[in-house]
Structure 1
Amino acid sequence: MNLPTVVTQLVNAQNNYDSKTYAECFTDTAIVHDEGKTHNGKEEIYQWIEDANKKYKSLMKPLKYEESASKGILIAEVSGNFTGSPVVLQFHLVFKDNYIDSLKVTG
């Protein structure tokens, strides 16, 4: 599967529980929507993924990737310390200057 570099970095950071590198995949003004909450900017994104890593210990296994223009959808199996694990989630991505500018996680 051919993933954009920044998506590969995101998956690797997630699977290594590296919250700092994960947050660095985003623009300074990026927005993340997950579990009914919105996180704005790298600092909030860092705090969100740091908390999620401690709570869920999630691992991502990419299953499919589609891209058009500056948008992409990563479908991945996510497993970890949560009810229903593993689950297949969709990561709706918007890119800007080779970084992620928006991420929305859906089931």
Structure 2
Amino acid sequence: MNLQLPEAVNTYFAISNGDDPARLATCFHADATVIDEKRTHQGIEAIVAWQREARQAFSYRVDPVDASQRGERLSVTARVVGDFPGSPVLLKHLFALTDDQIRSLEIAP
């Protein structure tokens, strides 16, 4: 499915699928927050470390399958397939966007 997503969100998914994690600074605000698996990652350094840690732990692919927007909030459902327990899984990515960058991201089943 070809979804029309904001550039910052497209960049985030490209990085999630193996692109250079250093590019996270181009799509996230400097003080952005990511909540994933009940852990909070605050700021670019922590978000880059989180992304690298996930890539080292598992091989996976994230494919957005549905999206809806309400104001500055964008909800994207993505199919995640990889070598982790429970694969494949559908995960909801709730983005808060400000000034064409991601201010926050919460990932949940």
Question: TM-score band, normalised by the shorter chain?
Answer: over 0.9
In 2, distance between residues paired with 1:49 and 1:8?
Answer: 15
Unaligned runs of 5+ in 1: none
Where in structure 1 do 4 or more consecutive aligned residues deviate above 3 Å?
none
Q: CA deviation at 1:17?
A: 4.3
1:53 counterpart (55, 61, 66):
55
Q: Find the counterpart in structure 1 of residue 81 from structure 2.
A: 79
Structure-1 separation of matches of 2:70 and 2:56 = 33
Q: Is the 8 A contact 2:79 2:89 kept in 1?
A: yes
Relative to the length of structure 2, the TM-score reads 0.92
Q: Is the 8 A contact 1:63 1:77 kept in 2?
A: yes
Q: Which runs of no fewer than 5 residues in structure 2 stay unpaired?
A: none
User: CA–CA distance in 1 between the matches of 2:51 and 2:16?
Assistant: 9
8 A contact 2:24–2:44 mirrored in 1: no
Root mean square deviation, CA, Å: 1.2
Aligned residue for 1:16, secondary structure, equals coil
Q: What fraction of aligned residue pairs are identical, expressed as a percent?
A: 31
For 1:48 and 1:96, locate their aligned partners in 2 and report how far apart those are by CA, in whole Å: 22
